[in-house]
């Protein structure tokens, strides 16, 4: 039986946009073991003098994360920022109502931002618009960004930080449409408080960028009315609207699971349309861009999480949201990353949620044990390292794959990123068929002289294979067989259910 065929045509003229590096952002919330026993573990053999784990930091550096959202998440709607600065011995222990935990405030703003700076990462700071409001948002901004001479900038200096933190990006609350949120708002309530908070914050520091809180997901009953109503209020003052979406294996159907990137695509398109509707209605001139600041696979740990919060509440750093990811989860993460890149003309920031221990690519064993890489670490890593430049929209001809919940979908999903300075062209492709290998022809008609440098694959015969502290069953490898080439057309094999990166380069580029 002949192998199934697919084709990608790439041309310099098919530009989507320059990729904003912040599309490879991530997220640390005061939730579970993300902070305590995650990035921070004083007394650990690998801890630095400030108590942060150097081995964990090294893996974060490997991912080249340019921006990290902090401190939440649901946590932020009960967050009193003053608790997280100044002498640690004076900081209060608080109940965290979002996750029914105890927050010690041993790590806070004054520790987190310098830690992120050492990693080369910006901080995306969220303000509390659940239980707090305009004054508190302006006060934390003054503390972080003003030089000196005011109450809160002088407080920062007394606390040991002379130079401002210069945090550029600020989120106006989190998931304020959600019934689970402390201080939940109606559309008009949130629109008004977001507008007035944004106005005051930009008076305090006009250089900042602000993210309006969008719907908590595309299935919320108020979506997309929420975006339309709230942006009518705060359009003049905000720069982005947030998107959140998590994906789960439903009914054990792996084939349909690999179609969920189509749901992300539809969600993004709907939000863009709503933003442009508001722009037209207000006769505005600026585009509202998108910050997809929570995305990932999340479903493995939900029952365990509910049991811990119900039966064992008020712990410090309980093991919550500790999904152990499978090979098929890694395929989905690779697909979601491709989808974000396809929309990089409007999706300027995105945060893989989260970074360590909590639905994360990096895990640590409890009580200061070893650190290890989850299966989803790898598609994010290669996208972040090699997906910087100008995104190109490939013209894809692909066989169709039937699914139980999404109808027929394309077997091959792909995007390309051109790095003109390095004379490189990197193609990210996933074969979503769980049954058939596919021979892919990559037509580089406008990239004369480019040769295939390497073909990196993530593949495994067991869709349920996982990694752990003592084993890595899912790791990338380089294909040894050479691609067939003919006048700028390269033929490669995409194994069934596989993630692939094809790197092309001019031979004399280096």
* Strands 209-212 and 240-247, bridge-based pairing: parallel
Distance in angstroms (rounded) separating the CA atoms of residues 299 and 4: 33
Catalytic residues: 175, 294
CB atoms within 10 A of CB 188: 12
147: Cβ contacts below 8 Å, ≥ 6 apart: 153, 164
Helix/strand/coil (H, E, C) string of 97-146? CCCCEEECCCCCHHHHHHHHHHCCCEEEEEECCCCCCHHHHHHHHHHHHC
| Total residue count of the chain as it appears in this document | 510
Three-class SS state of 298: coil
Contacts of 69 (CB under 8 A, 6+ apart): 25, 26, 27, 28, 29, 124, 126, 171, 293, 351, 353
Other C-beta atoms closer than 10 Å to the C-beta of 372 total 17
End-to-end CA distance of the chain: give it in Å, rounded. 42
Helix (H, G, I), strand (E, B) or coil at 358: coil
The Cα–Cα gap between 217 and 325 comes to: 22
Q: Report residue 392 as tokens.
A: 């190109």
């Amino acid at each position: 039986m002949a192998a199934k065929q697919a084709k990608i045509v790439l041309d310099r003229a098919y530009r989507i946009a320059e990729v904003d590096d912040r599309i490879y952002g991530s997220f640390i919330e005061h939730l579970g073991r993300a902070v305590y026993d995650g990035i921070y573990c004083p007394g650990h053999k690998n801890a630095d003098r400030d108590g942060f784990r150097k081995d964990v930091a090294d893996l974060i550096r490997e991912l080249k994360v340019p921006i990290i959202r902090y401190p939440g998440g649901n946590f932020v709607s009960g967050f009193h920022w003053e608790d997280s600065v100044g002498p640690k011995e004076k900081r209060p222990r608080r109940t965290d109502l979002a996750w029914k935990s105890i927050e010690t405030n041993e790590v806070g703003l004054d520790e987190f931002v310098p830690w992120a700076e050492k990693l080369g990462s910006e901080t995306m700071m969220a303000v509390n618009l659940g239980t707090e409001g305009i004054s508190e948002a302006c006060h934390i901004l003054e503390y972080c960004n003003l030089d000196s001479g005011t109450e809160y900038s002088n407080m920062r200096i007394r606390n040991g930080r002379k130079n401002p933190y210069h945090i550029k990006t600020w989120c106006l609350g989190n998931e304020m449409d959600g019934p689970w949120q402390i201080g939940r708002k109606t559309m008009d309530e949130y629109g008004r408080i977001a507008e007035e908070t944004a106005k005051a914050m930009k008076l305090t520091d006009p250089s900042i960028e602000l993210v309006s809180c969008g719907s908590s997901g595309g299935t919320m009953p108020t979506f997309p009315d929420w975006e339309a109503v709230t942006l009518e209020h705060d359009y003049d003052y905000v720069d982005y609207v947030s998107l959140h979406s998590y994906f789960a294996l439903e009914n054990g159907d792996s084939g349909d699971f690999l179609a969920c990137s189509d749901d992300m695509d539809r969600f993004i398109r709907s939000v863009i349309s709503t933003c442009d509707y508001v722009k037209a209605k207000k006769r505005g001139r600026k585009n509202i861009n998108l910050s997809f600041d929570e995305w990932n696979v999340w479903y493995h740990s939900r029952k365990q999480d509910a049991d811990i919060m119900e039966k064992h509440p008020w712990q410090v750093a309980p093991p919550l949201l500790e999904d152990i990811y499978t090979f098929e989860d890694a395929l989905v993460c690779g697909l979601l990353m491709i989808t974000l890149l396809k929309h990089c003309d409007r999706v300027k920031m995105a945060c893989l949620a989260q970074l360590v221990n909590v639905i994360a690519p990096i895990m640590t064993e409890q009580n200061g044990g070893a650190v290890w890489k989850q299966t989803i670490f790898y598609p994010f890593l290669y996208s972040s390292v090699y997906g910087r430049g100008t995104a190109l929209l490939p013209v894809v001809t692909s066989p169709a794959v039937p699914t139980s919940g999404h109808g027929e979908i394309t077997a091959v999903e792909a995007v390309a990123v051109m790095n003109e300075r390095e004379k490189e062209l990197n193609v990210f492709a996933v074969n979503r068929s769980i049954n058939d290998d596919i021979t892919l022809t990559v037509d580089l008609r406008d990239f004369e002289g480019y040769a295939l440098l390497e073909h990196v694959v993530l593949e495994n015969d067991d869709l349920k294979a996982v990694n752990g502290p003592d084993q890595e069953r899912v790791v990338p490898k380089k294909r040894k067989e050479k691609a067939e080439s003919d006048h700028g057309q390269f033929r490669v094999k995409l194994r069934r259910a596989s993630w692939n990166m094809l790197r092309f380069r001019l031979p004399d580029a280096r």
